[in-house]
Amino acid sequence: MANHLTFTEILVASQHVHVFDMPDRRPNSAGSSHPTRWVFQSEIEALLFSNSKSTGALYRLLKRTPGAEGRALCLRHRANAIADGLVSDAEWSAMVQCLHVGVRSITLVPVEVAVEAATLLGETKETAALIEALGHDRLAV
């Protein structure tokens, strides 16, 4: 299991968003041996909905986003995520350093799913900046 994550921190509409590659190690994942490019759900929600704490707004948007079902990876509690083989201890520690020390669960969203969700949300300064910063063209809904 990989123990080192490299984060790219991008500034999107005055908010920091971390992007990184890590395999999706869930048993039902089609690409479990290939890295998936991830973003933190909490950072995307803060950017798109101006929330300092998660309200579930991004979760509800993902439920409406075609092709997003089952793609987000919720890592509930460090011990469980490690015991389930979803992340290593070093990977969890690296993610926590990007977020904050008190984090108990981390939800990761594949970049392409975040782009689709932002597209579905509609054209705003934040969605346009996010889509561009993640290296995608704006898509027609």
Domain ranges of the chain: 7-133
Cut 0.85: pTM above it: yes
Please report how many Cα atoms fall inside a 13 Å half-sphere around the Cα of residue 40, on the Cβ side: 25
Q: Which of 3-7, 16-20, 23-27, 106-110 has the lowest average pLDDT?
A: 3-7
- Confidence bin at 100 (pLDDT 50/70/90): confident
Alpha-carbon distance of 130 to 47, in angstroms, equals: 8
Which residues make Cβ contacts (< 8 Å) with residue 63, sequence separation at least 6?
Answer: 69
| pLDDT score for 132 | 92
Which residues make Cβ contacts (< 8 Å) with residue 22, sequence separation at least 6?
Answer: 2, 5, 35, 36, 38, 87, 91, 108
* pLDDT tens column, 22-44: 999 998 876 556 789 999 999 99
- For residue 110, pLDDT beyond 70: yes
DSSP 5-62: --EEEEEETTEEEEEEEEE---TT-TTTTSEEEEEEHHHHHHHHH--SS--SHHHHHH
